[in-house]
Every structure is written in C-alpha cells, then in structure tokens.
C-alpha cells in the first residue's frame, strides 16, 4: 500500500488557490449576485463583503448516462380534457408544500451560499471600470526609480557601512599579513631556546654562540613590532552596502473632485453627491496607487479642503460654479502641469447657478481647463428640468469628446451613472 503525504506549504490560506479557481469558474453568476447586492446596499457599506447565493442548477456537473438504446415503439393515448388552442395551466409546485403550509413529501436542493471578502467584492465591482486613457502618449517615457540592494562597495557613507563584511575583510587581511611573521617568530624562539640551553650547559669560557643569541633576540623583538604594527582594521577593509536605482516606468495622475455645497443643494442632494464621491474615492484608491486627489468645495467661493472636510463640512451659501473651475485651473497651473500629469475632474451639482455665471463656466472649460484634461465627468443631481448650467455644458460636450455628463435623479441612479461614466472604453 502506497501512502502519499502532501508537505507543500500553503500558510494560513490553505484553500486560497481553490477559492480563486472557484471564483473564476462561476464568475458570471457571482458578478450577477454582486450587481444585485449593490442595488440594495448603502454607499457607506460598499466596501464590505457580501454573502451571495449561487443557484444549485448552476453548480451541477455534466454527467453521462446510458440511454435505453435500440428502436422502440409506443402508443400514447389521446386526452379527453383539451382541444387544439386550449391554454394549459402551470402545474402546481412540488409536493413539499406551498406557501406557509408544510408538506409530507417532496425534496429539493438549497442554493450554494458563498461569502465574498471585502477585497473580492471590490475587485468584482470595479473590474470593468477604468479612468479613460490613463496613460498619455507623451508620458510613457516618464521613469521613476527605486533604490535596491546591489552587493557591496569600498566607497560610501558611514551610515551604509556593513560591519560584518568589514570585520571579515579585516580579519582576512591580518591573517594574510601576520602569517609569515608569526611563522618566523616561532622558528626564532625555538632556535633561541635551543641555543640558550646549550650555553647554560657549557662552560662560561665558551661564548661562540653569544652573537647568534643576540641576533635572534633582536630579530624576535623586530618581528613582534612588525606584528603589533599591523592595524586591527584599515580603510582598505571597509565595505559599504551598495544601492542602485532601478528604473520603474510610471505615470502621474490627479483627480479633481468638485462639489457644489450651495443653499440650493438641499441635504438629500448633498448626501447623494457625497455618495457619488465616496464611490469615486474608493474606486481611485483601489485601482490607482499613484494618484493624487484634490477636493474642492464651492458655493459663491471655492476652497480646497482635505478629505474629512470635503465629506463632512456643513458650510453653505450662494452659487457661483465658476469659482470652483477657476480654482481648479489655478491648481493645475501651480502644481500639476499638463505636460507631466494625467489630469481628471469630476463635478457634482444640482445645476442651479447664477445666470450670468454659466456662460463663464463654459468659456473656462473650453479655453483653459479641457485642453489640460484627460477626462471630465459632470453629474447633475436633480429630478427637475435642466437649467442654464446643463445647457452650457452640453455645448462643451459637443466640442470635447472627453467631456461626459449624466443626470442623477435618485440615489438608486448613482451606481448606473458611475459605471457609465467610468466604464472601460474599447479601443
């Protein structure tokens, strides 16, 4: 009998490979379940996991069965209940009971329940989304560098010194330089000891070896000085950790988030705008590690704020949309030159604006902002008819192919609109 023992190391996630294989195999069913789950959950719960059910019929494996074989003849009797054209009622459910009533027969199979983790849920939810044209042609030559270890070098700064390697080199040098002197020192001491023993045994008149003894003593003294003069460590022994810069192709991207917080944006509309930007923020942070996010809130004046203030501040006022566009242009000019950055913008508003300001917004976009941007997404949160800002933005969309606009009437429209704005374009 042969016994097979699997000693492969899988760490804590022993079933991780099988889990990923299962997700790939039933990806279409899982994505449908994710889409159904998203439509019923709140925006602040979007980054949680999800328990989904896969119908049992989709889990069944194909099997081969033996057929009856051969040629068979059968006579099927007619019926006395129906004639041509009659509509036949749907047969009743299985005998296992109907509604809340119990049954005493029948059998079935429950759906397969599967728990998606937070990472798996977000991966499936954002899988077919992307920032359009993320990589600019003129930015493909931009290269970033990271420092990596590359052996040792004899030159460097003290902070990079490798103590173990330096002491190992010093020890090898001392052994190599002291070896011949130590060997000769041992020989000279042995010879001196032998001569002194002979001299002590002989008469004092015999001083034939005195000069040799003196020479040996002088040589021993000189050898000891030579050995002691060898330094414990020398600059020649020092070794430093060597680091080189390894090129990493990269691109730089920035997303401007512009949100209207004027008085015409009631709490429901502000909450919808926040939900849209929370979804956008999760999307950016998950898919693009190297991307800056600039948050701009505006009413009659615009202000760049941090993430916390952007989502939680209760400041309000009138409506001058051009103030946010002007601040965006100033920020691009001062910190994000278009020759070095991929620039994106997303704006949420209820469409209400000071009438004389809407044409100014159109001119700002066409003349200053859109030439610098890769993509601009505008969402108008209103169930009412469109106002002057939407009409002016339509003229921008007609002139710029990388300008997109959508309307959000209810919170349920957030997901479809978001996916439409940031779906992957087939090139």
Residue of 303, 304, 329, 327 lying closest to 317 (CA atoms): 303
111 in any annotated domain: no
Give the model's pLDDT for residue 186. Answer: 85
pLDDT digit of tens for each residue in the chain (427 aa)? 555 555 555 555 556 666 677 777 777 777 776 666 655 555 445 555 556 666 666 666 667 777 766 777 766 677 777 777 788 777 666 554 444 455 555 455 556 666 776 667 666 666 656 666 544 544 444 556 777 788 888 888 888 888 888 888 888 888 888 888 888 888 888 888 887 776 655 555 455 567 777 788 888 888 888 888 888 888 878 888 888 887 765 567 888 999 988 888 888 888 888 878 877 877 777 766 677 889 999 988 999 998 888 877 777 778 889 999 999 999 999 999 888 788 889 999 988 888 789 999 999 999 999 999 988 999 999 887 888 889 999 999 999 988 999 999 887 788 788 888 877 665 5
What string of DSSP letters covers 313-381? Answer: --------THHHHHHHHHHHHHH--TTT-EEEEEEEE-S---GGGHHHHHHHIIIIIGGG-SEEEEEEE
Residue 234: what pLDDT? 82
pLDDT for 174 equals: 85
* Structure-block tokens of residue 419: 């996916």
Partner residues linked to 292 by β-bridges: 254
Are 257 and 185 in a shared domain?
Answer: no
Question: Do both 259 and 397 map to the same domain?
Answer: yes
Give strand pairing partners of 260. 298
Give the residue numbers spanning the domain of 28.
Answer: 13-56+118-125
* Shared domain check, 355 and 218: no
Instruction: For residue 76, give the H/E element and its range.
Output: none
**How many domains is the chain built from?**
3
Asked whether residue 7 is domain-assigned, the answer is: no
Q: 128 and 423 in contact (C-beta within 8 Å)?
A: yes
Residue 44: per-residue pLDDT: 47
CB 261 within 8 A of CB 299: yes
Same domain, 296 and 360: yes
Write the CATH number for 374: 3.40.50.410
173 falls within a domain: yes
Same domain for 214 and 262, yes or no, is no
| Number of Cβ within a 10 Å radius of residue 343 | 25
25 belongs to a structural domain: yes
**211 and 270 co-located in one domain:** no
Question: What is the C-alpha to C-alpha distance for residues 288 and 265, in angstroms, rounded to an integer?
Answer: 31
Instruction: Please give the pLDDT value at position 3.
Output: 57
Q: Kindly report the pTM of this predicted structure.
A: 0.52
Please indicate, yes or no, whether residues 324 and 393 belong to a single structural domain of this protein. yes
Contacts of 328 (CB under 8 A, 6+ apart): 256, 258, 294, 296, 345, 369
Q: Within a domain: residue 144?
A: no
Helix, strand, coil content of the chain in percent (nearest 5): 45, 20, 40
Q: Report the candidate in 291, 320, 283, 282 with the shortest Cα–Cα distance to residue 303.
A: 320
Note whether residue 104 is domain-resident: no
Q: Let me know whether 190 and 50 are in one domain.
A: no
Among 269, 251, 268, CA closest to 260 = 269
Considering the domain architecture, whether residues 209 and 274 belong to the same structural domain is answered as no
Verify that 313 and 373 share a domain, yes or no. Answer: yes
Q: Kindly state whether residue 365 falls inside one of the protein's structural domains.
A: yes
Does residue 265 sit in the same domain as residue 224?
no
SS3 per-residue string spanning 221-235: HHHHHHHHHCCCCCH
In the prediction, which pLDDT does 129 show? 62
CB 154 within 8 A of CB 238: yes
175 located within any domain: yes
Does residue 167 share a domain with residue 36? Answer: no
Helical H runs in 136-254?
163-201, 210-229
């Amino acid at each position: 009998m042969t016994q097979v023992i699997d000693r492969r190391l899988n760490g804590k996630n022993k079933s991780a490979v099988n889990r990923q294989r299962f997700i790939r195999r039933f990806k279409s069913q899982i994505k449908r379940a994710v889409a159904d789950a998203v439509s019923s959950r709140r925006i602040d719960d979007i980054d949680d996991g999800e328990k989904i059910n896969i119908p049992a019929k989709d889990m069944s494996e194909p099997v081969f069965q033996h057929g009856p074989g051969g040629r068979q003849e059968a006579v099927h009797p007619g019926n006395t209940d129906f004639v041509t054209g009659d509509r036949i009622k749907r047969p009743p459910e299985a005998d296992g009971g109907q509604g809340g009533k119990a049954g005493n027969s029948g059998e079935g199979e429950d759906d397969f329940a599967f728990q998606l983790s937070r990472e798996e849920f977000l991966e499936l939810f954002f899988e077919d989304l992307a920032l359009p044209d993320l990589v600019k042609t003129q930015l493909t030559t931009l290269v970033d560098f990271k420092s990596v270890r590359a052996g040792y070098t004899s030159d460097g700064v003290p902070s990079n010194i490798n103590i173990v390697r330096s002491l190992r080199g010093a020890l090898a040098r001392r052994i190599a330089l002291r070896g011949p002197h130590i060997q000769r020192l041992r020989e000279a001491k042995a010879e001196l000891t032998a001569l002194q023993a002979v001299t002590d045994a002989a008469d004092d008149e015999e001083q034939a070896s005195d000069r040799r003894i003196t020479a040996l003593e002088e040589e021993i003294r000189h050898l000891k000085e030579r050995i002691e003069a060898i330094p414990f460590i020398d600059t020649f022994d020092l070794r430093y950790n060597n680091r080189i810069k390894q090129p990493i192709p990269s691109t730089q991207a920035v997303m401007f988030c512009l949100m209207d917080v004027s008085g015409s944006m009631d709490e429901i509309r502000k909450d919808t705008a926040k939900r849209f930007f929370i979804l956008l923020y999760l999307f950016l942070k998950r898919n693009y590690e190297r991307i800056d996010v600039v948050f701009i809130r505006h009413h009659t004046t615009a202000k760049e704020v941090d993430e916390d203030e952007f989502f939680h501040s209760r400041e309000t006022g009138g409506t001058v949309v051009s103030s946010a566009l002007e601040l965006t242009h100033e920020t691009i000019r001062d910190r994000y030159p278009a020759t070095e950055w991929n620039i994106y913008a997303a704006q949420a508003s209820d469409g209400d604006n000071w009438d004389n300001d809407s044409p100014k917004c159109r001119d700002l976009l066409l003349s200053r902002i859109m030439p610098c941007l890769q993509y601009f997404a505008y969402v108008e949160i209103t169930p009412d008819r469109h106002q002057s800002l939407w009409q002016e933005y339509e003229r921008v969309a007609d002139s710029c192919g990388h300008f997109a606009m959508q309307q959000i009437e209810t919170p349920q429209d957030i997901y479809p609109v978001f996916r439409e704005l940031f779906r992957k374009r087939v090139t």
